[in-house]
Amino acid sequence: MSHPPRLFACLTISMAAMVALAQKAPQSDLRSRLQTVPGVVSVEAGKGENSYVVMFDQPVDRLNPKGLRFQQRIFLRHAAFDRPVILGTEGYEAGGPNGGELDGMLDRPNLLTVEHRYFGASVPKPLVWKHLTVKNAAADMHR
The predicted-structure confidence for 110-123, as pLDDT tens digits, reads as follows 888 899 999 999 99
Q: Cβ(52)–Cβ(34) under 8 Å? A: yes
- For 85, the domain range is 4-140
Kindly state the average pLDDT of the residues 12-33.
Answer: 66
Kindly state the average pLDDT of the residues 10-26.
Answer: 58
Instruction: Compute the distance between CA of residue 130 and CA of residue 112 in angstroms, rounded to an integer.
Output: 28
pLDDT value at residue 89 = 80
Predicted TM-score (pTM) above 0.85: no
Instruction: Compute the distance between CA of residue 69 and CA of residue 62 in angstroms, rounded to an integer.
Output: 10
Q: Cβ(1)–Cβ(105) under 8 Å? A: no
Report the number of distinct structural domains present in the chain: 1
Of 138, 136, 143, 141, nearest in space to 10 by CA: 143
Q: What angle do CA 63, 118, 72 make, to 5 degrees?
A: 75
pLDDT value at residue 20 = 60
